[in-house]
Amino acid sequence: MKRGDLYRVTHPTTRDPKRSRVFVIVSRQILIDSQFSTVICAPIYTQYHGFSTQVHVDIDDGLKHSSSIHCDELISLPKSVLTDYIGVLSIFKLTELNNALKIALSLEL
């Protein structure tokens, strides 16, 4: 398990109407490798609005269709639910993700 990995999660939250959703791990690697039981993830939705806090992803990234990572909706998920591995983001997409997270969290660029 590493930062930038994509996982399909069944029933991720009680509020999510979808049966399953893909998430990307955004936690730092030292936390992922630790005994801590959860990691921070960003959900992937089929809607893409072009916001600076969204990262466009598609079939080249291992998804079935064009989608976007929503960095304004971070969630902590137990590592135990991250079992259905989809793929990993490219270095280029990780850079875009880092920039979107900086904007979403109002960190200095």
Contact 97/89 with Cβ under 8 angstroms? yes
What pLDDT is stored for residue 106 in this prediction? 92
d(CA 100, CA 97): 5
Name the pTM for this structure. 0.90
CB atoms within 10 A of CB 89: 21
What pLDDT is stored for residue 98 in this prediction? 96
* Cα distances (Å, whole numbers) of residue 68 to 21, 22, 29, 74: 12, 10, 22, 13
Place of tokens 């466009």: 56
Domains of the chain in start order, with CATH, are 5-104 (2.30.30.110)
d(CA 29, CA 55): 20
* Cα within 13 Å of Cα(18), Cβ side: 12
Which tokens is 38 given? Answer: 């959860």
Q: What is the pLDDT of residues 39-69, one digit of tens each?
A: 999 999 998 898 999 999 998 888 888 999 9
Q: Has residue 23 got a pLDDT over 90?
A: yes
d(CA 52, CA 63): 21
Q: What is the pLDDT of residues 62-109, one digit of tens each?
A: 888 899 999 999 999 999 999 999 999 999 999 999 999 999 999 975
